[in-house]
Amino acid sequence: MGEAPAFIADDLHTSFSNGLHLKLNEFETATVIGNKTYVIGGINDPTSTGVRIFNKSTGTKPKPFKGHSTILLNKDRILIIKTNSKSNDSIWFLEVDTQFVEDQKKKFETEVVAWSKGVIGDAERPIVISGPSGVGKGTLINMLMKEFPSMFGFSVSHTTRDPREKEENGVHYHFTNRSVMEEEIKAGKFLEFAAVHGNLYGTSVEAVEVVADAGKRCILDIDVQGARSVRASSLEAIFVFICPPSFEELEKRLRERGTETEEQIQKRLRNAKAELEQGKSSGLFDHVLVNDDLEACYERLKKSSHGAFELLNTETEVFDLPMDFSLSKINEKILINSGIDERRIVLDLSSMKGGAPGRTRGLCMYTTGN
Ligand SMILES: Nc1ncnc2c1ncn2[C@@H]1O[C@H](COP(=O)(O)OP(=O)(O)OP(=O)(O)O)[C@@H](O)[C@H]1O
Ligand SMILES: Nc1nc2c(ncn2[C@@H]2O[C@H](COP(=O)(O)O)[C@@H](O)[C@H]2O)c(=O)[nH]1
C-alpha cells in the first residue's frame, strides 16, 4: 500500500480524536489509529477502493476554506492558493519533505506533514548570541534594541528558573514550571531547548514567529547547546559567540551583577569553562567577539550582523484574489490567471526563504494587466 501524506480537501469540518478536521465524502469511513487517520472508500473511483492516509500535521493550520488550487513545488511542499481571499492570507504550504518536516519526523518518530503560511516580504536572518553566563550578552543585546528598536526584536525564551528582581514575565522570559514546559516540549512547541545551570530553557517557535511577524530581525540569547540545535534546524541564523577577556573578569562580572547565590555562581563558572572551549573551537559560530571594552565589542557586533541595518521592507500591498482562477508555473513564478478579467497575479517564489519555522518569507506578489 502506497503511503503519502494527503492534503486535506475542501469543507474541513468533522473533528477526529487526533485533532484532524475533515469532511468525509459519501461512502467513506475514517478510522483513527494513533496519530494517523485512514479514510477508506469514496465514490470518485468506482474501480477501486481508495485509501487516504492523514498523518500527524504540525504548524499553524489555515482556517477551514472552501475553494483552493494546489501546485507541487520541488517535491517537498505543496503550494495551496485560496480563492476569494485576501492576498495576505491566501498562500499556504503543506510541507511534506522539507528540512523542518524531517526534523519533526525524527523528533516524533512518526510521519509528519507541516503547514506553513506564505508571508509576503523579507525577514533578515535571525542572530543567535551565545557565551558564558555573565559575559555581557544581555548588555549588548539591550544596546542593540535601544539603538534600533524598530529593527530588532528579542526572542523571549521560556525558563523554569525563578524570576530575578526587575524581571518581567513575558518580557525577559516566559517563566514556567518544569512539568508544563516538558509537556510543551513533547507537543513540539520548541525550536530548541536545553538544561542550563540546572534549569530548563527553550525558544518556542512562537517566540521567533512573533518577532518575524512584526517585520523585525530576531535576536536569540541562548546557550551553546541551544545554538547547536538551532544550527541543525531550519532557521537560517547568524551565530555570534561572546568571550570574556579573561576567566577572572568573567567571575568578577558575575559576582558584581549580584543576581546569583554563591552556589549558583560556582555552577555557572564551572559550566563556563566547557562553554568557552566549545564556543571557540567548534566551528559552530560565524563570529567570536571578545567583550573587553563594551563599546568596542558593541561596534564589532554591529559589523558582524552584516546587512542588519538595511531598512526592512515591511509594507506590502494587500489585494483580493478572485473566486475563479487557474494556476501555471514558469520557472520560479506562479501565474494566477483570473477566470473573469484580464488580471493576472504573479507570485514570485525565487527568493523564498524561511523567516521562522512555519512561516515562509521572501515571497513577492504583484498584479499585471487590468
Ligand atoms: N564589557 C564589559 N565590561 C564590564 N562589565 C560588563 C561588560 N559587559 C557587561 N558587563 C557587566 O557584566 C554583568 C553581566 O552582564 P550580562 O548580564 O549582560 O551577562 P549575560 O551574558 O547576559 O549573562 P547571563 O547569560 O547570565 O544572562 C553585568 O553587570 C554587566 O553590566
Ligand atoms: N538553550 C537556551 N539557552 C537559553 C535560553 N534562554 C537563555 N538561555 C541561556 O541560559 C543561560 C542563563 O541565562 P540566565 O538568564 O539564567 O542568566 C544564558 O547562557 C542564556 O544564554 C533558551 O531559550 N535556550
Average pLDDT of the chain is: 81
CB distance 335 to 79 below 8 Å: no
- Between 158 and 91, the more confident residue is 158
Nearest CA to ligand 1 atom 1: 294
Residue ranges of domains in the chain, CATH in brackets: 7-121+316-368 (no CATH), 127-304 (3.40.50.300)
| ipTM exceeding 0.95, yes/no | yes
Measure 138 CA to ligand 1 centroid, in angstroms.
Answer: 7
Confidence class of residue 291 from pLDDT cuts 50, 70 and 90? very high
Direct distance between the N- and C-terminal alpha carbons of the chain, in angstroms, rounded to an integer: 48
Q: Write down the catalytic residue from 77, 268, 359, 361.
A: 268
What DSSP designation does 74 have? T
Comparing C-alpha atoms, which of 84, 81, 58, 61 is closest to residue 71?
81
Under the banding of pLDDT at 50, 70 and 90, the label for residue 44 is: low
CA distance 88 to 346: 14
Annotation marks residue 268 as catalytic: yes
| Cα torsion angle, 334, 330, 364, 203, sign | positive
Instruction: Residue 246: name the closest of 269, 262, 217 by CA.
Output: 269
Per-residue model confidence as pLDDT tens digits over 280-289 = 887 899 999 9
Kindly indicate the confidence band of residue 58, based on its pLDDT and cuts at 50, 70 and 90: low
Looking at residue 109, what is its pLDDT?
75
What confidence tens digit (pLDDT) does each residue in 300-316 have? 998 876 554 443 344 56
Residue 231 DSSP one-character state: H
Contacting residues for 325 by C-beta, under 8 A, at least 6 apart: 69, 81, 83, 336, 337, 338, 339, 345
Which amino acids bring their CB within 6 angstroms of ligand 2?
A: 133, 137, 157, 161, 192, 194, 196-197, 201-203, 221-223, 225-226
Ranking 154-163, 238-247, 334-343 by mean pLDDT, the lowest is 334-343
Tell me the C-alpha distance between 15 and 188, whole Å: 21
At 268, give phi and psi (nearest 5°). Answer: -65, -35
Distance of CA 141 from the midpoint of ligand 2 (Å): 13
